[in-house]
Chains A and B, each alone.
Chain A
Amino acid sequence: MQGFLDTVDVYLAAIGQTLFITLISMVASGVMGLAIGLSLYATRPGNILESRFFFGAINLLVNVVRPIPFIIFLAAVAPLTSIVIGTTLGTAAVTFAISLAAAFAVSRIVEQNMVGVDPGVVEAARASGGSRLGILFTVVVPEGLGPLVLGYTFIFVGIIDMSAQAGLVGGGGLGNYAITYGSQRYDWGVVYVTVATIIVIVQVGQLIGNRIARGVMRR
């Protein structure tokens, strides 16, 4: 445990970095994912903005990006990261890559939950004279919101996971801390403290997500 006590300041800073990466990535991937997911839902055959071309193109993009293991995605997206962030190393660069990767995962969750919305409800809104875009935002999104929040909470765990991997490229955070001060020095105390910390963060995140979902679904 001495190793941990000696590096408490690094540990605390790492928690801050992890929370920073996670928070920014959650918001950024949430916004991007919502946009991509809603486009997928709306352009789906038979839906309100049906378009074979757009649905096919977006669907292909998501399918191509999604299965790439994050550590490889991180390397593959480096040129883009360099253009947008100015560097491929450090917390900001890692946050960018995570946001992008998570956005594609979020988009699928958004699409799945929107597809789950009762088409009869959409029909009722159309019969009331609602416009296509109006129905998308005032009916489809609120109707699918409860399960969507649960799915989004699931993404939160994935982002914590990615943030730890990103420690390898100097992204900072708890992953970085566990590798540099823990496993590389054979200091298992540091490793297990980090593991426990991540478990606590994930649990708290899950708890908040469940609360919000329950609030939205009123159950």
Chain B
Amino acid sequence: MSAIVELKGVSKHYVRPGAAGPVVAVDDVTLSVEQGEILAVVGYSGAGKSTLVRLINALEHPTSGSVRVAGKELTAMSERQLRGERAKIGMIFQRFNLFRSRSVAGNVEYPLKVAGMDKARRDARVAELLDFVGLLERAHAYPEQLSGGQQQRVGIARALATSPPLLLADEATSALDPETTTEVLNLLRRVNRDLGVTTVVITHEMHAVRQIADRVAVMENGRVVEVGDVYDLFASPRTLSGQKFVRTALHDRPTADELVQLRERHDGALVSIQVTDEPGQQRGIDKVFAASEVDAHLVWGGVGEIRERRIGSLTYELTGDASALRSVVAELRASGRGAVEEH
């Protein structure tokens, strides 16, 4: 795999009148986006992810650092050259940002007009794109006559008009209800798999990340604090930010409040065991319990899949004498199949 986007030591500072110093939106970020992948950039609002994505298509210019897209250094380009490069990068937005004065077809046609394509080819391309997003029969409707999900599909068709190899999605599903979110995420996945479009998804919703991302970058205060495979992030987040985000989508462990309630009803020791996709893990756990003098009782749990790999955790109430408990926990740990947490 080769990188289509390479950010090296990129920072972006804003000068705000009235502010004491410059506002640091992006702080020394080095990150690459590999050809063909879906990379999710997650972070709370104000973490700098929207600025980061705009550095990739040069809507924002970095204060320092290097931005390379498809091997070309953007920071050295004139505005005229950048326009050409932007046309090769599609972008969709949280509020869709459709042209209200243009019909659905007119919106999709706009980038083609900018690119100077002739009318006959434009019409054919618009029809092809609207067919792809399933809105061919709404070609002559206006944006306000469409639902949010439909509007975002028009946004996607518009972003793909010039067949860009790279698509940037800025909180593309944050304004949509859960059902429509899934529909749009599935479409983005299809764009990635069927058309081979590399995609950068900016989001604060871990559910979206879980559904479509191949890799994840976690941002905090303008920095990328953690990058990795989506399964690895969910299985073992290395940073506090990463952990917090994972918990929002994977409610497999009791929270502190829920633990208090669990303790009221259960007198024994509470232990959470992480479930991974390692074959035979469940059998291993059962064996450890069966061989011990401890009584294990399942009280909490959640197991799901990410990228078709099993993930989650199970919380047991263990009763028995203290030394037996200690040896069971030690054995579970020694089996090395997923982390064990004593509450």
Q: Spell out A's residues near B (CB within 8 Å).
A: 118, 120-121, 123-132, 134, 138-139, 142-143, 145, 216, 218
Interface string of B214-254 (1 = CB under 8 A from A): 00000000000000000000000000000000000000000
Verify A145–B101 contact, CB threshold 8 A: yes
Nearest CB of A to B307, in Å:
30
Verify A125–B102 contact, CB threshold 8 A: no
A124 with B83: in contact, given A134-B114, A142-B102 (CB under 8 Å)? no
A120 with B86: in contact, given A139-B99, A142-B101 (CB under 8 Å)? no
Nearest CB of A to B164, in Å:
10
Verify B95–A120 contact, CB threshold 8 A: yes
Verify B91–A127 contact, CB threshold 8 A: yes
Verify B97–A124 contact, CB threshold 8 A: yes
Verify A129–B93 contact, CB threshold 8 A: no
Query: What residues of chain A lie closer than 8 Å to B158, measured between beta carbons?
Result: 124, 128
Give complex CA distance A143, B83 in Å.
22
Query: What residues of chain B lie closer than 8 Å to A118, measured between beta carbons?
Result: 95, 97
Give complex CA distance A139, B113 in Å.
12
Give complex CA distance A151, B265 in Å.
69
Find A143's partner among B89, B100, B142, B161 (CB 8 Å cutoff): B100
A218 with B142: in contact, given A124-B97, A126-B59, A142-B101 (CB under 8 Å)? yes
Q: Spell out B's residues near A (CB within 8 Å).
A: 57, 59, 79, 83-84, 86-87, 89-91, 93, 95, 97-102, 110-111, 113-115, 142, 155, 158-159, 161-162, 168
Verify A126–B97 contact, CB threshold 8 A: no
A128 with B111: in contact, given A120-B93, A218-B142 (CB under 8 Å)? yes
Q: What are 30 A-B contacts defined by CB distance under 8 Å? A: A120-B93, A121-B98, A121-B99, A123-B59, A123-B93, A124-B99, A124-B155, A124-B158, A126-B59, A127-B59, A127-B89, A128-B86, A128-B87, A128-B114, A128-B162, A129-B83, A129-B86, A129-B111, A129-B115, A130-B110, A130-B114, A131-B83, A138-B110, A139-B99, A142-B101, A142-B102, A143-B100, A143-B101, A216-B101, A218-B142
Verify B99–A123 contact, CB threshold 8 A: no
Nearest CB of A to B207, in Å:
24
Verify A129–B142 contact, CB threshold 8 A: no
Closest to B110 in A: A128
Nearest CB of A to B212, in Å:
21
A120 with B97: in contact, given A127-B91, A128-B86 (CB under 8 Å)? yes
Of B97, B98, B159, most A-chain CB atoms within 10 Å: B97
Give complex CA distance A143, B90 in Å.
22
Closest to A121 in B: B97
Closest to A142 in B: B101
Verify A129–B114 contact, CB threshold 8 A: yes
Give complex CA distance A121, B93 in Å.
10
Give complex CA distance A142, B162 in Å.
23
Query: What residues of chain B lie closer than 8 Å to A145, measured between beta carbons?
Result: 101
Verify A127–B99 contact, CB threshold 8 A: no
Closest to B79 in A: A132
Nearest CB of A to B21, in Å:
20
Query: What residues of chain A lie closer than 8 Å to B155, measured between beta carbons?
Result: 124
A124 with B91: in contact, given A118-B97, A129-B115, A134-B114 (CB under 8 Å)? yes
Give complex CA distance A216, B115 in Å.
26
A124 with B93: in contact, given A129-B83, A129-B84, A218-B142 (CB under 8 Å)? yes
Give complex CA distance A54, B306 in Å.
56
Query: What residues of chain B lie closer than 8 Å to A130, measured between beta carbons?
Result: 83, 110, 114
Query: What residues of chain A lie closer than 8 Å to B102, measured between beta carbons?
Result: 142
Query: What residues of chain B lie closer than 8 Å to A123, measured between beta carbons?
Result: 59, 93, 97
Of B59, B101, B102, most A-chain CB atoms within 10 Å: B101
Nearest CB of A to B165, in Å:
14
Nearest CB of B to A57, in Å:
21
Nearest CB of B to A195, in Å:
39
Closest to A119 in B: B97
Query: What residues of chain A lie closer than 8 Å to B100, measured between beta carbons?
Result: 121, 143
Closest to B106 in A: A142
Q: Which 10 A-B pairs have the closest CB atoms?
A: A129-B87, A124-B97, A120-B97, A128-B111, A142-B101, A127-B91, A129-B86, A129-B83, A130-B114, A143-B101
Give complex CA distance A121, B110 in Å.
12
Nearest CB of A to B3, in Å:
21
Nearest CB of B to A211, in Å:
17
Nearest CB of A to B320, in Å:
61
Give complex CA distance A143, B143 in Å.
12
Nearest CB of A to B280, in Å:
50
Give complex CA distance A120, B115 in Å.
20
Find B110's partner among A125, A131, A216 (CB 8 Å cutoff): A125
Closest to A131 in B: B83
Query: What residues of chain B lie closer than 8 Å to A128, measured between beta carbons?
Result: 86-87, 110-111, 114, 158, 161-162
Nearest CB of A to B109, in Å:
11
Give complex CA distance A124, B156 in Å.
12
Nearest CB of A to B29, in Å:
20
